[in-house]
Amino acid sequence: MPWSRRHGAGTAAVPAQRGPARSVRFESPVPMSIKTLARLSAPLLACALPGIALAHVSVTPPQAAPDATVKLSFGIGHGCDGAATQSVSVRVPEGVLAAKPMPKPGWTIEIVTGAYARPYQLYGKEVSSGPVEIRWTGGTLDDAWYDEFTLRARPTGFADGAAVPFVVTQTCEGGTSLAWDEIAKPGEDAHALDRPAPVLLIGAPAPVATAGVQAGHAPLAGSAKAGALAIEGGFVRAMLPGAKVGGGYLTIRNAGPEADRLVSVSTPAAGGAAVHEMAMEGEVMRMRALETGLAVPAGESVALAPGGLHLMFTDVAAPFAEGATVPVTLTFEKAGAVDLELPVLSPRASAPDGAAQASGAAASGHAGH
């Protein structure tokens, strides 16, 4: 029997059967005069730009590697015959596990859970149920506007080249709705459908060239950006069989004029995650969690490296295996949540670059945190 849990943007999820839902609402940063102007100009835009008015719901990226966590953004390009969108729901397909929505200011999130058709292995544990639908409600997206609704999930058990459709439904002012639920049959052109469901193609994405990256080479793993913050050189060390505690490392660069603070770390691969420091107490080196988070001063960088500050993962479900990746969410006081995949390197790695790993391992002589 499916059940749901609701929470407002930035609040903890509360199971529906354990008490009334709690939510925090954020005022839209857009002035009312602009909203009014958008509503009045919507019919004109629809006539002048029919391609926008009839735009299908999209999913970005359109392709994901098999058995890897990916952040998916569903783009909503218009309302229902000019009416503003007031809720968006994404049905999570069978085999897409651990779906976790990104909060949106002014919108309330509902996670509907249910049983899977069969059990799956997820980070060393068997799971038979989980999120089957994600809903964003309570907000307003005018017909003339575009926005994205984002979740993180892990497609599991799909063959290379599989096409995974996500049914998306918009509910608009006046009770009208649009269901993007049409799925192309074999040999049928999806572009010919009136309301095609956005489709995620399973397969290793081709390398792309980005600014500062040589063409033909993929962007560096273990890296991400959020506003003025850049996370670089992230990795975790492979763990020994039976081990329950792992360590992760990265560098946070703050190019902005304001300080920020890393307030929490989470991963579905471990029961707990936090930033730890190594500090001397008398003549003894001790490791302890930073209870108030990690400060990232404006215009400076903070390195989490072996022998100093680091990410500590506890109650790890399955020891991190070299060559795999670990999905991690870093939540900052101002920049918000940042998702990234940390590659698992050797147990003695000291840097994400192969040459640096080898030299660092030889110099360190140990594989401690």
Contact in structure between 158 and 66 (CB atoms under 8 Å): yes
> Does residue 298 belong to any structural domain of this protein?
yes
What confidence score (pLDDT) does residue 288 get? 84
61 and 121 share one domain: yes
What confidence score (pLDDT) does residue 43 get? 42
Phi, psi at residue 266, to the nearest 5°? Answer: -145, 155
Of 171, 202, 233, which residue constitutes the final position of a domain? 202
- For the chain, how many structural domains are there in total? 2
Of 149, 168, 202, which residue constitutes the final position of a domain? 202
180 and 70 share one domain: yes
What confidence score (pLDDT) does residue 319 get? 92
Share of the chain above pLDDT 70, in %: 75
Q: What is the average per-residue pLDDT within 7-31?
A: 38
280 and 347 share one domain: yes
What confidence score (pLDDT) does residue 32 get? 41
> Does residue 215 belong to any structural domain of this protein?
no
In the block, which residue shows the tokens 């940063």?
29
> Does residue 84 belong to any structural domain of this protein?
yes
Q: Give residue 140's pLDDT band: very low, low, confident or very high (50, 70, 90).
A: very high
> Does residue 95 belong to any structural domain of this protein?
yes
188 and 229 share one domain: no
Of 169, 202, 235, which residue constitutes the final position of a domain? 202
Cα 31 from Cα 84, distance rounded (Å): 16
Task: Give the type of residue at 175.
Answer: G
299 and 236 share one domain: yes
178 and 327 share one domain: no
| CA 332 to mean position of chain CA atoms | 14
Both tokens of 1, joined, read 């029997």
Question: CATH no. for residue 117?
Answer: 2.60.40.2230
Cα 23 from Cα 12, distance rounded (Å): 9
Contact in structure between 76 and 214 (CB atoms under 8 Å): no
Work out the mean pLDDT of the chain and round it to a whole number.
78
195 and 322 share one domain: no
125 and 261 share one domain: no
Higher pLDDT, 43 or 63: 63
Residue-range definition of the domain harbouring residue 179: 3-202
Query: Which residue, 322, 327, 329, is CA-closest to 346?
Result: 322
pLDDT of 69 > 80? The answer is yes
193 and 311 share one domain: no
What confidence score (pLDDT) does residue 349 get? 84
- 77-135 pLDDT, tens digit each: 999 999 999 999 999 999 999 999 999 999 999 999 999 999 999 877 899 999 999 99
197 and 159 share one domain: yes
What confidence score (pLDDT) does residue 48 get? 37
> Does residue 136 belong to any structural domain of this protein?
yes
> Does residue 75 belong to any structural domain of this protein?
yes
Which helix (DSSP H) or strand (DSSP E) does residue 110 occupy? strand 108-122
- 22-36, 219-233, 238-252, 339-353 — which is least confidently predicted? 22-36
190 and 292 share one domain: no
Exposed e or buried b per residue across 31-52, where buried means at least 16 C-beta atoms within 10 angstroms of its C-beta: eeeebeebbeebeebbeeeeee
Q: Give residue 62's pLDDT band: very low, low, confident or very high (50, 70, 90).
A: confident
Residues 68, 352, 327: CA angle, nearest 5 degrees: 25
- The SS3 assignment for 359 reads helix
- 300-327 pLDDT, tens digit each: 999 998 888 999 999 998 999 988 899 9
pLDDT of 184 > 50? The answer is yes
- According to DSSP, the residues that pair with 100 across neighbouring strands are 152
> Does residue 140 belong to any structural domain of this protein?
yes
pLDDT of 212 > 90? The answer is no
167 and 253 share one domain: no
Both tokens of 293, joined, read 């988070």
- The SS3 assignment for 41 reads helix
Query: Which residue, 114, 91, 73, 98, is CA-closest to 183?
Result: 91
> Does residue 320 belong to any structural domain of this protein?
yes
Q: Give residue 17's pLDDT band: very low, low, confident or very high (50, 70, 90).
A: very low
What confidence score (pLDDT) does residue 85 get? 97
Listed in sequence order, the residues at least 6 apart from 8 whose beta carbon sits closer than 8 Å to its beta carbon are: 22, 23, 24, 25, 103, 108, 109
Question: CATH no. for residue 233?
Answer: 2.60.40.1890
